[in-house]
Amino acid sequence: MAKAQYAAAVVLVQQKNYAAAIERLEHAYELSRDPRLLWDVALCYHELRRYARLSATLDRIEVAAGVALTPQVRSRIADLRAFSERLVSRMEVLTSAPGATVFVDDERVGTTPFPAPVPVDIGERKIRIVKQGFREVTRTETVNGGDRIAISVVLERVVPRGRLRVAAGPNDVIEIDGKVVGRGAWEGSLLSGTHALRVTALGMQAYQADVLVQDGKTRHIDVALDPGELPWLWIGGGAALLAGALVTGALVFEPGKPAQQGTLGSYPLSFGAPRRRP
């Protein structure tokens, strides 16, 4: 497989399609771990005038080959590095939270903290720093050949939030976590998690629910309150029932009449003699 990838790369080099050739050569290197393939990768970067990648590849060659490098190859590496260093700058990136991934022109160059400054091609370069749970940082740097660039970035932690949208009646009062936030309708940003929703209106049964708000999503809640029992109706009705019960009791248990004996199903009932009223 490695030989097939190398053969395809040779054809692509002959066609001067160096970017595609690099992909084939890198695949061949992954399969064989032959450092000679990295030398071919470096030459392709030289043809593309991507001197930062050329310089980084020369570093890889020295690490991969180690003591196997001949003096002649070491001399050629030194010449190429001296040439490329005039056309790149070395960049160091420090972030307040380690483990941030750094991209130069959308190409990943490493993760902070860098073990060593990385080469960057001259010109206007877009630097992008990404770390999960933190706000992404993007900036533009002017790179001059042979310089050193030090970038220090304070990463801002992103608090997970979602949105809640509540639609109720025009006069309904909306509360979130015990605080009145609006009347009739409300939409806003909340911390992700569970929140207490309460909707009330005069003469209506209150609506209460625990609402889950998810990170980056909008939750929609439609509320239609039901009519509630008014206290004065309940009291009036209760008073009427109580009065009716008293009247009925007075008619059943009139003084002077003997108690009647009857049955409820097969069970005899005897109320006994009624007591006289004073």
Task: Please write the tens of the pLDDT for every residue from 158-193.
Answer: 889 999 999 999 999 999 999 999 999 999 999 999
Task: Please write the tens of the pLDDT for every residue from 65-83.
Answer: 988 888 999 999 999 999 9
Output the six-digit token pair for 198: 């309460």
Q: Is the dihedral of CA 175, 180, 184, 186 positive or negative?
A: negative
Q: Compute the C-alpha angle 123/139/26, nearest 5°.
A: 65
Distance between CA atoms of 225 and 144, rounded to whole angstroms?
Answer: 68
Contact partners, residue 17, CB within 8 Å, separation at least 6: none
Output the six-digit token pair for 139: 């900036």
The overall average pLDDT reported for the chain is 84
pLDDT, residue 278, reads 46
pLDDT, residue 66, reads 87
**Long-range pairs for 225-229 at CB < 8 Å and ≥24 separation?**
225/168, 225/169, 225/172, 225/199, 225/200, 225/201, 227/203, 228/203, 228/204
pTM metric for this prediction: 0.58
Q: Would you place residue 145 in the very low, low, confident or very high pLDDT band (cuts 50, 70, 90)? A: confident
Task: Please write the tens of the pLDDT for every residue from 231-272.
Answer: 444 444 444 444 444 344 433 334 444 434 333 344 343 434
* 152: enclosing H helix or E strand: strand 148-153
Number of H-type helices and E-type strands within the chain: 6, 16
pLDDT, residue 229, reads 60
**Residue ranges of domains in the chain, CATH in brackets:** 2-85 (1.25.40.10), 88-153 (2.60.40.10), 161-222 (2.60.40.1120), 231-270 (no CATH)
Which residue from 58, 63, 30, 59 is spatially nearest to 44, judged by alpha carbons? Answer: 58
